[in-house]
Structure 1
């Protein structure tokens, strides 16, 4: 069985479901720090233009999850967990008007997990 690079909590999954009902298909990009530190950003699918510097990490709740190639170099040894917390971030992410924000928790892979990672895709 392949080890997922990004997973989602039940609370975050419920928020994604609500956002999909309102906005349709969604995508995520792990921000590199411009607006709200290093925060996961949720957009309508196609709203954020991706390029050859972006890495596809996998799908969560039917939504593609990406981050920049440079940032991936720092995070490639960790599994990311998308979660939500009360509060308003200073970003353009779709959940902000709900009074919550997505956040990422990370942990290092075990040796066994690292041997079975899902493949990444670089570029669009």
Structure 2
């Protein structure tokens, strides 16, 4: 298994669902497959067979210090934090080029889940989108806008040949 540093984040809704599934099923893993579109499968960690073509892209963190805007219960010690649990996210090597240089954002939507994904019976499925890293952009929007408006379109006259 190959490990590649990547930024993986999850929305509050995704973290809440992963937390509920973790409480019900124990340690979890997420696997992103691109064979027939993009699907995110959530399985018990012991059920996910990681192969040589799978890459560890990062982790979704559950618990830890309360994040701004999150309604999290106080920990048992009253510190405002809950125990930290990391859920690993794996990706097929065939998908690396598409997701490279991006932040992977895991979210939740209503609908049918992929395969035997644990959230399926709840009528939900995990989704994945990418947020491009602005430091790696290939064009500079400010420079383009500073150049002014493009010249007016001048239709070509066939008699100019």
Range class of TM-score, shorter chain: 0.7 to 0.9
Show structure 1 runs of 5+ residues with no match.
113-124
Q: Give per-residue Cα distances to partners, 1:11-36, cap 9 Å, x unaligned.
A: 010000100011000000101234xx
Q: Give per-residue Cα distances to partners, 1:50-92, cap 9 Å, x unaligned.
A: 1221111111031000001111122112211000011123421
Report the counterpart of residue 58 of structure 1 in structure 2: 58
Deviating above 2 A after TM superposition, structure 1's stretches of 4 or more consecutive aligned residues are none
Report the counterpart of residue 125 of structure 2 in structure 1: 101
Report the counterpart of residue 48 of structure 1 in structure 2: 48
- TM norm structure 2: 0.62
Shift of 1:4: 5.1
Question: Which deviates more, 86-95 or 66-75?
Answer: 86-95
Report the counterpart of residue 83 of structure 2 in structure 1: none
- Matched residues, number: 108
- TM norm structure 1: 0.79
Question: Which deviates more, 17-26 or 102-111?
Answer: 102-111
Query: Which one has more relative contact order, counting CA pairs under 8 Å at least 6 apart?
Result: 1
SS at match of 2:22: helix
Task: Name the Cα RMSD after superposition.
Answer: 1.7
CA distance in 1: counterparts of 2:101 and 2:11, whole angstroms = 20
- Tell me, yes or no, if structure 1 residue 70 matches structure 2 residue 94: yes
CA distance in 2: counterparts of 1:33 and 1:92, whole angstroms = 16
- Structure showing greater radius of gyration is 2
